[in-house]
Structure 1
């Protein structure tokens, strides 16, 4: 094992445990690397090809994980899983530090059926991205501590923590996928298709949280280009136009029943200014939100 405690340019600290092949085997898991890094603003982890599975958990700050040509914005509470054979790069936000824990590993021949199924899922895409819904940061940090402290029976504790981390990560990823499949399973025989239906349901349920199409695609585990193409092909409407219409549709409801000002409604729906909200509203409705509010008051 090689353990490094380094202070590199742009890196506040980097505690890294590196293992040679077959040197650190814990049941069905061959460990190659485990550690924690805290990077200053603008720090970069150079692009490299993944030779093993890698799981990262963001502790604090924000930055960007690049997998092949995909850029993922990460922040505290996110988890990212990288598959083997893909190009990986990390960049810290230029206005914020980034701290995360990570482990590089592979499943070996001792892995039982349950882990084999997890491996198939993990390798089913270049990466998986989700919120840490099962608080795997705790066993992650405890496991790192076991490597440093080397207390009696540490190997047993380490193996247990590894299995807890992997299962918790798997649940975080698949429960999100299961929810998408649940949306799709409720569709009628005449719906626009499983993928598009999943997107429609997600937009309806998360109208106040919607960001860019790229962010939407990441949350749903789809490629943004593919998602936009399929949506337009099946509905005849671009995905962005559909989102715009759904936001204005929701604004009508809020302005009528929500007891909110035009500015408050715009902010709630993610518009940066009241002017941008009014412009989007007018483009779809043909008149500004102020007229709609006045008309509603005139009917009371």
Structure 2
């Protein structure tokens, strides 16, 4: 992925074209994050590697072999090697995205990855993120810059997660994956079903009753059952997951406290702030200021390290 400096707010690009990093069953050629100003375009180029692009915020348009593909926040675009690819930010929006460029190496033949590799043989796949692909992306970039203890092993793990999670919701892999035999419903299965639903829909959930209605449970039974098995009420669990999501939005994205409160379906900014303080011990504003201070300090430290190399 190549881009001129003009039109970029920032660009953290890490290239390994001469000596790709061996990360398990993939070879890593490129990993980074970019924030593009209005209308900025990464011109059409041939893909020499498979590429996964995660839209962190904003909107824009990609093209693969001339086909236009609208991009929105939370979209995951996979483009295969050998195809023509371009990305452009919307005329009135800033487009921020993370990306990874890789190839499958010989060790991938030793693993059960045939279905996964088949997905990356298609020109492109576009899905909505339901598995929080942003998290391993940003963690991988952080490991690459910080290079703390066992950073290489962590980088390998995150890169493999990205490649797998990016395609897990694609129709291709769903059709190809062998059907599992139905299993008897156990306590752990029931609880996990609820936990998975909360994890995938935490922003839209407004109440325990909403979950009960959606998953066809009796409201009273669901509340008592979840608390008895897990030792925590479902309402408290939802609150914790919402605050966990709020922390991600505050730390990695460009949303105000008010926007996050609305996004997470709180009745008001005050109720969100109260819930946040109850879990974190500080207000959302204080948490955001602390994170920004840490990021600034980290950026200065990284710049100094680069200058000394």
TM-score greater than 0.5 by the shorter chain: yes
Cα separation, 2, equivalents of 1:93 and 1:16: 22
Asked if 1:144 is matched to 2:141, the reply is yes
TM-score of the aligned structures, taking structure 1 as reference length: 0.55
Cα separation, 2, equivalents of 1:108 and 1:23: 11
The one-character-per-residue Cα deviations of 1:206-237 (angstroms, maximum 9, x if unpaired) are xxxxxxxxxxxxxxxxxxxxxxxxxxxxxxxx
Residue of structure 2 in register with 1:51 after alignment: 48
Quick check: which has more Rg, 1 or 2?
1
Asked if 1:93 is matched to 2:51, the reply is no
Q: Do the aligned residues in 2 keep the contact of 1:66 with 1:72 (CA within 8 Å)?
A: yes
Cα separation, 1, equivalents of 2:152 and 2:171: 28
Q: Do the aligned residues in 2 keep the contact of 1:7 with 1:14 (CA within 8 Å)?
A: no
Cα separation, 2, equivalents of 1:66 and 1:57: 15
Cα separation, 2, equivalents of 1:52 and 1:175: 20
Residue of structure 2 in register with 1:168 after alignment: 165
Instruction: Return the match for 1:80 from 68, 77, 80.
Output: 77
The one-character-per-residue Cα deviations of 1:172-194 (angstroms, maximum 9, x if unpaired) are 22488549xx9xxxxxxxxxxxx
TM-score of the aligned structures, taking structure 2 as reference length: 0.54
Residue of structure 1 in register with 2:112 after alignment: 114
Asked if 1:35 is matched to 2:32, the reply is yes
Asked if 1:62 is matched to 2:59, the reply is yes
Cα separation, 2, equivalents of 1:119 and 1:139: 20
The answer to which structure, 1 or 2, has the higher relative contact order (CA under 8 A, 6+ apart) is 2
Residue of structure 2 in register with 1:24 after alignment: 21
- Count of aligned pairs: 176
The one-character-per-residue Cα deviations of 1:88-134 (angstroms, maximum 9, x if unpaired) are 011110010100000000000011332333112210x2100000111
Stretches of structure 1 that go unaligned for 5 or more consecutive residues are: 183-300
**Coordinate RMSD, CA, aligned:** 2.4
Q: Do the aligned residues in 1 keep the contact of 2:119 with 2:173 (CA within 8 Å)?
A: no
Residue of structure 2 in register with 1:245 after alignment: none
